[in-house]
Copies of this chain bind each other. A is one copy, B any other.
Amino acid sequence: MSPDELRALLERVRAGTLDVAAAARSLEALPFAELGYAKVDHHRTLRLGFPEVVLGQGKTAAQIVGIARRLIEAGENVLITRVSEGLAAEVHAELPELRYAPLARVLTHEHRPILLGTSAPVAVVTAGTSDIPVAEEALETLRMCGVPAERVFDVGVAGLHRLLARLDVLSAAPAAIVVAGMEGALPSVIGGLVGTPIVAVPTSVGYGTALSGLTALFGMLTSCASGVTVVNIDNGFGAAAAVVRMLRARNAA
């Protein structure tokens, strides 16, 4: 509820056209739909600028179907992340309009595309081939928010020339999402080469002292390059959401 809406509501109370008890209820409860096991938030698009995103992991197929159906009925777009192939099949049987991207492991429904202002494509970079699924989750999220993007894959620091060949894309991008596992050095190197905003995504790729992504995470956080920010391990969605926040603020300006 925006400050303007608040003032309008109070004016109606003053004018006597709105009952005091009703006004109190309105002030206490912003709109959401109660499903018992979930409260679907219909105002999130207005508030934060991207669709209600559902984390599929840890939910049953029935719960996902229930939430997605409610969103579709409300005319909203749907993005469900971290959906295994088996779970996707179960959900799809109930809601065939959902599209499954197996590499990214997301289910989407594109009812009304959000159109952002035009911009150069966001660079989505990976250090290796095994980091691609996380990058694809980011790419699907960007697509659902109407943000153009370009893939720059397998340019890890053990072969710097592969990276240097693509520096122009990175320099021109309004933001770069840099996905890397193992020692996670790629964002440091890119951060030292270009001034582009960089969101680093550590991945759980690697074994032993890769510590399921913690080593890449900590390496990115202690990066000797200035101004690199980081999201959770394997969180391609979160990195894309951060970029959407940046581009929306920019468009708003």
Contacts and interface: CB of A to CB of B under 8 A. Distances in A.
Contacts of A205: 58
Q: How extensive is the interface on chain A, given as a class?
A: 35 or more
Contacts of A63: 129
A222 B226 contact: no
Interface string A97-135: 000000000000000000000011000000111101000
Given A10-B20, A13-B13, A29-B164, A183 B222 contact: yes
Copies in the complex: 8
A77 interface: no
Interface stretch (A68-76, A85-93, A194-202): A194-202
B207 A158 contact: no
Interface string A154-192: 111111111011011000001100000011110011011
A104 B37 CA distance: 14
Contacts of A198: 245
A234 to B, nearest CB: 6
Given A37-B132, A220-B183, A222-B182, A227 B207 contact: no
A228 B242 contact: yes
A149 to B, nearest CB: 15
28 contacts: A1-B161, A3-B28, A7-B24, A10-B24, A13-B14, A14-B16, A38-B128, A44-B159, A47-B193, A48-B195, A58-B129, A58-B205, A119-B253, A157-B185, A159-B192, A160-B192, A183-B222, A185-B219, A196-B245, A197-B245, A207-B234, A209-B232, A210-B218, A215-B215, A221-B232, A228-B231, A230-B231, A246-B246
Given A55-B128, A58-B128, A198-B245, 6 more contacts: A38-B128, A47-B193, A47-B195, A174-B253, A227-B244, A249-B250
